[in-house]
Amino acid sequence: MRIKAILICIVFLFVWTITIPGVKADVENGWYITRISYDGPIIAQTDTVFYVGVVEAKVKNGEMGELESATAVTNAQVTAVFTKGQEKIEATLIHEQNGEYKGVVALPTAGEWIVKIKAVRGHSEQRQVNPTDQKYEAEFTTPFKVKDPENNWMPVYLFILVFVVAGILMLMWVRKRNP
């Protein structure tokens, strides 16, 4: 009896997993910023190289649905706007390869910054911007931390501190021996 119940449960679970459709994300046709990455830690007052990936997504049917393909975008104008309070710094990125755009920025102060990346279709001066071009635009906003520049004098300060402490200890030792 127990074995029958276990077999029925196993068959039920097997049939249940076969009949439930897989979860699929709905995607719209258009451009997407897929990532932003940095060459290393972001340090204030230092040039930081960063990369942005841009792809064009196409769905299987219509304007929205299951993703059919994603191809690299090579003709976008990509800009980044870094803000912290009233501070604002803009950078224009250049296409490197396969939908990867490269930019360089030097942020003046440490702390929490927000970057807004925008990719739009490149337009010539003669061509009017078409309202349907919205699918050829992508935006991405994210916060990140900027570190203070390292203090290169720290080893010197430590050496001086050790030397001063050793001198004080030596003075105390000499005074103790010669009352």
pTM higher than 0.75: no
Q: What is the pLDDT of residue 17?
A: 54
Question: Which class does domain 24-148 fall in?
Answer: mainly beta
Task: Write down the pLDDT at residue 130.
Answer: 56
pLDDT at position 145 is 92
- Contacting residues for 25 by C-beta, under 8 A, at least 6 apart: 66, 67
Nearest CA-CA partner of 144 in 116, 103, 118: 116
Pairing type for strands 137-146 and 100-106 reads unpaired
| The token pair that represents 107 in the structure block | 């942020």
Phi/psi region, residue 98 (left: phi>0; alpha: psi -120 to 50; beta: rest), is: left
Q: Which two tokens stand for residue 8?
A: 């029925």
HSE on the CB side for 87, CA within 13 Å?
14
The pLDDT assigned to 177 comes to 83
Can you give the pLDDT of all 179 residues of the chain as single tens digits? 778 777 676 765 555 555 545 444 456 778 889 889 998 889 999 999 999 999 988 877 766 667 778 889 998 999 999 999 999 999 999 999 999 999 999 999 999 999 999 999 875 444 455 555 567 788 999 999 999 887 667 778 888 899 899 999 988 888 888 76
Q: What is the pLDDT of residue 125?
A: 47
- Looking at residue 84, the DSSP 8-state letter turns out to be E
